[in-house]
Structure 1
């Protein structure tokens, strides 16, 4: 069975999903369906959705939607795709060796990498942690030169 992932274009849709997703990791992919790397990531997310459905909910967020810009600014989404994680309405962070722990930037090299990341976030969240260590080896974590504005 193929899982279809909802695409959110309105702030209230994102707000209610963050608020109403309880005892599961909420995975929000910020990107656009016309971007090649987003499509590669979306394919991994689609193929993984059933595998993680016991402990995670996955949704796509359209960064070009006017209403979503408040989230794009808040999470400083400058690279797409960027994936943000929540658990019981708390923003979950991950230390993957970069200066930015707030989101995953880029795609995953394979389906199992995404599953491992979501499992690590879920296990950490169940222990009350708001930041977890990335379970992937450094060579499977995308590297980006992060430029910070106003520094």
Structure 2
């Protein structure tokens, strides 16, 4: 299903793609190939990859690989799948009305939702903005509870 999208398996591969993706949005999906929501998201990402290829690069990251644990912890990937965005090696944030602007948590309902989000991030980044406002209607944004350990 995700044969067209590269899967990054260690910190060096992630570092390299973040550093080397210039003037495009880098979309990193953190998930598991055994997780149903990750697979549904992967399907949307794969179907969208060609449509966004002029302004975005999409890659998958397996959260169970010990060699990517530093990124899983850094981005606080506790809910699967989570999608993180970069532009010219800068972490891009997305205000989707949720408590966490650092990543998209969950899957996208449809291909066009993903394309719209990436396009908004790209346009904002080209204007020097580090945060973009989510163009998706609130009813199509996944709802989740933030979990805080030791609080």
TM-score for both structures, normalised by structure 1: 0.97
Partner of 1:69: 69
Instruction: Give the number of equivalent residue pairs.
Output: 150
Q: Which residue of 1 aligns with 2:106?
A: 106
Q: Is the 8 A contact 1:32 1:64 kept in 2?
A: yes
Mapped to 1, the partners of 2:147 and 2:120 lie a distance apart of 27
| 8 Å Cα contact 1:3/1:50 also seen in 2 | no
Aligned to 1:16: 16
Aligned-residue offset at 1:72: 0.3
Match of 1:56 in 2: 56
Q: Which residue of 2 aligns with 1:34?
A: 34
CA distance in 2 between counterparts of 1:10 and 1:60 reads 11
Deviates more, 1:140-149 or 1:69-78: 140-149
Task: Provide the C-alpha distance between the structure 1 equivalents of 2:16 and 2:110, rounded to a whole number of angstroms.
Answer: 30
| 3-state SS of paired residue (1:125) | helix
Cα-Cα RMSD: 1.2
- Could you say what secondary structure the match of 2:68 adopts? helix
Task: Tell me which stretches of 4 or more aligned residues in structure 1 moved more than 2 Å.
Answer: 148-151
**C-alpha distance 38-67 of structure 1, shift in aligned 2 (>3 A):** same
Structure 1 pair 50–3 and aligned structure 2 pair: CA distance change class (3 A): farther
Query: What displacement does 1:147 show?
Result: 1.6
- For structure 1, the residue ranges without an aligned partner over 5 or more in a row are none
The TM-score normalised by the length of structure 2 is: 0.97
